[in-house]
A and B are shown apart, each in its own frame.
Chain A
């Protein structure tokens, strides 16, 4: 009897603990937004730093989205930039189409983000059908393949608008250009094949980025704490056991994958709205890898970790610009060292030993409760 009560209590406190960590994540994001806003409104932020704000928000949302796939769902995706690309270009088209109809840039941006998320979700679903049948490294290589295919296809896209509506052609042979769209007078080419989208409106704002981060965080964290989220985690931890208790693994994985794609698409739409020109080759394998690095260094399944890692690792190379050519070299060395220091069993044991020594010196009295709470 008392035993049962005990488990119920620990479960309750466990849930409270989780809720607490969720609120800490929201708190950190909101606090960071307020601080940065104060800085930028008082003009303390340089032009260059101010220009980084929206891309940082986009990459944070991308990291959150990929963390859903890699951390929560447990499948390695190497083509996540593809969804970002779909979102970016569909968002750009939507915002240009709406340019004449809607005057309010905030609504226009919101619609563009929704359109980006929608199209990325469709592509995510189509890709998910073959991809989620595979496992492990094979799944990873197929996501890589899809990422490259999306990049190449968008690179062939020529799109323009005029009074008759949208004109789209595929430039497969490399012999077509914006002139082949046969636009009516007053029409405008939005996407010009390999040149990408040019002359689009810059309507993204830092506040929009902040709201998008909060929405992405809210969606993912409530998903993880829900019944569906627990089913997805069960599939990750033990597929066979999950199947044996009646969880439809394919269905839940697909749900997580499509949701992840939609979030990535919204991030892409925001990214696209931040620049007046955009090329498809920006969203290549290297971008996918960059986001994966954010997720892994931030900690798999740890949303706050993704936010912090994306912020620090996106700003770090920019801040190191003075060192010009050496910065990526430093970045590479830091990456390797961090991975070894955090994953080598001997070094991890050594670090924990040092840590416990340090903490025992600082708070001798509290040590007992500490060791109970830790692993």
Chain B
């Protein structure tokens, strides 16, 4: 029974990682950049939802929509002002800019909301008791949300015209441009979707772990990035699989090995996986052409 409850909490945590990792992987697939500010968009999403509930007094579900709208806008603005001017720059320059954006978001949040942790009211309350096993509804809701998002995103990428444009841009931007695809618009849409997902992840994360500070997003961001690499960066099913596995490993490591070393164990598993499969679990192996 204990095992099952750890497994469920692992899957629930993993679902949050998976949702964040989906955003990471989409942005990496199309813009070929490590968006280190993604974790901080999660934090902004959490604060937006919190403020909407506390200060505007809106409904919980509406607050999620508000958070998504704000984060979508934020994602588009970040891309347009910070990353677009560096489209042809070295990846290191873009990485440092992303770190700058991350600092900017964290410190803006620090100025606006101060470093005192806010207690986030869970969007779904109560626990389900079945045969000695108690599972909070938040966990179930998180897992369900993750599956719905994952399926919807896969359909969006494979069936719609803009999804097709995304795939084309991630293959070859110049060729896509020659085919009449608006590359800048496509990248904006990718950032918008990634940031909206980050907002959802922020609300879900804060519902499970209800303390909200300006650095809330940093560690989940890094771990979700690890999850994306774990599953094979650029691959959507990979991000999902990587996220869930990472969550389960973390939950078991905390329960059975050591709380202090749980992060280390997660990272150690990542290292081992990358040594065996250098492109991640579901990543495509790219052969080098001379």
Contact = CB atoms under 8 A, between A and B. Distances in A.
Judged by DSSP, the binding face of B is: helix
A130 interface: yes
A1 to B, nearest CB: 36
Interface stretch (A48-56, A211-219, A265-273, A333-341): A333-341
Interface string A130-143: 10011101101110
B268 A329 contact: no
A344 B92 contact: no
Contacts, number: 130
Contact of B267 (A140, A145, A345): A145
A19 interface: no
B108 A329 contact: yes
Contacts of B93: 296, 339, 342-343
A234 interface: no
B271 interface: yes
A173 B258 contact: yes
20 contacts: A130-B274, A134-B278, A141-B225, A141-B229, A141-B274, A145-B226, A148-B263, A149-B268, A152-B261, A285-B222, A292-B99, A296-B92, A297-B96, A325-B111, A328-B106, A329-B104, A332-B104, A336-B100, A339-B93, A340-B86
Contact of B107 (A134, A135, A137, A328): A328
A130 B86 CA distance: 32
A329 B225 CA distance: 25
- Most interface-central of A155, A285, A296 (chain B CB within 10 A): A296
A156 interface: yes
Given A149-B267, A293-B96, A339 B258 contact: no
Contacts of A138: 229, 274, 278-279
A112 B192 CA distance: 51
B161 interface: no
A347 B89 CA distance: 12
Given A289-B99, A336-B97, A325 B225 contact: no
Interface of B: 28, 34, 82, 85-86, 88-93, 95-97, 99-101, 103-104, 106-108, 110-111, 222, 225-226, 229, 233, 257-261, 263-264, 267-268, 270-271, 274-275, 278-279, 288, 290
A296 B110 CA distance: 26
A329 B107 contact: yes
A350 interface: no
A300 B93 CA distance: 11
Interface residues of A, number: 49
Given A149-B267, A172-B260, A344-B89, A292 B96 contact: yes
B277 to A, nearest CB: 10
A296 to B, nearest CB: 5
Contacts of B275: 130, 133
Given A70-B92, A173-B258, A292-B96, A332 B107 contact: yes
- Most interface-central of B99, B110, B290 (chain A CB within 10 A): B99
Given A70-B92, A155-B260, 10 more contacts: A134-B278, A141-B229, A141-B270, A145-B267, A148-B264, A328-B110, A333-B100, A336-B82, A339-B100, A343-B85
A156 B222 CA distance: 22
A144 B222 contact: yes
B257 to A, nearest CB: 8
A153 interface: yes
A137 B233 contact: yes
A357 B235 CA distance: 49
A335 B107 contact: no
A296 B267 contact: no
Given A138-B278, A141-B226, A329-B104, A340 B97 contact: yes
A293 B103 CA distance: 12
